[in-house]
Amino acid sequence: MIGLSKYRLRWYVGMFLTYAGIAAALIFFLFPFIWIVTTSLKGNEDYFTFPPVWIPTEPSLAHYERLFTHGNGWLYFKNSLAISSLSMVAALAFSVPTAYSIARFRFGGSLFSNFLLLLRTMPAIALVIPIYVLYSKLGITNNYFGLILLYTVFYIPFAVWLLIGFIRDVPVEIEEAALIDGCSRLQALLRVVLPVIVPGLAVVALFAFITTWNEFLFAVILTGAETKTVMVLVASYTTGSPTDTFFGEASASVVLGILPSFLVAFALQRYLVKGLALGAVKG
């Protein structure tokens, strides 16, 4: 009984320490976001008080209202939503058949998928000047098409690399049975393979949306007044002097920038864990 009691005591202590560590980690990682949310609800008089005001004395949505009415927040939000969504769809449309051809027909050889991933490691800063010159010559700066094309091309290698593993996990015999029943290759892909790899498609879609939504470098260089994104809006509220910074509007723009990615991740959460677990690329 004494040994059993010691075992149970150790188990309780271990569980307590585990949950305490998880709670501490959650507080540590969520604190910046909570602080930004509360800052977006504070009045201007609460920003420079000492000691700091943790909870707004009179919560207000005035900063969000000014963001949409005077800061073109709705325009930037619409631009980011359109560009991210269309880039995500385009990346899926091109990466699925590419990954299928590599996984099923060994197109490009066994190392081709790794070569595609290598292309994705190229730093974006090294391509800014040539892409800007090229886009200026083609006249596709300051429009949706230019950014969507750029983001799609940049994300396709990573999307293909991810999807290859999911497609290889689908037994070839299932497709062969569909082909025997009269399906074409395209029909087998659409009716047999895609329903099975839905978790992989969700992972690719989520990563594509978040990567495009959070991109700043090309968005600030290749856009104009009518096509700027939310990330450009966030940066525009920060100046050199702390007293000249619009803390309320800046915090509201950050919340606005985080919310869509959170909602997409929440909508795809049931596929996300399974997709990440099953998406390893096999040789």
**Tens of pLDDT, residues 263-279:** 887 877 777 666 555 54
At 79, the amino acid letter reads: N
Location of structure tokens 């497709």: 175
State the fold for domain 63-278: MetI-like fold (1.10.3720)
**Tens of pLDDT, residues 72-109:** 778 888 899 999 999 999 999 999 998 888 888 877 66
At 84, the amino acid letter reads: S
CA angle 35, 252, 22 (to 5 degrees): 30
CA torsion angle for 91, 94, 98, 104 (degrees, to 10)?
A: 100
Q: What is the largest CA-CA distance in the chain?
A: 83
**Tens of pLDDT, residues 3-50:** 556 677 777 878 888 899 999 998 888 888 888 888 888 877 777 677
CA torsion angle for 151, 161, 264, 191 (degrees, to 10)?
A: 110
At 139, the amino acid letter reads: G
pTM: 0.79
Location of structure tokens 């689908």: 170
User: Domain residues of the chain, as ranges?
Assistant: 2-60, 63-278
Q: Estimate the crossing angle of helix 269-278 against helix 144-168, to 10 degrees.
A: 60
The number of beta carbons lying within 10 Å of the beta carbon of residue 228 is 20
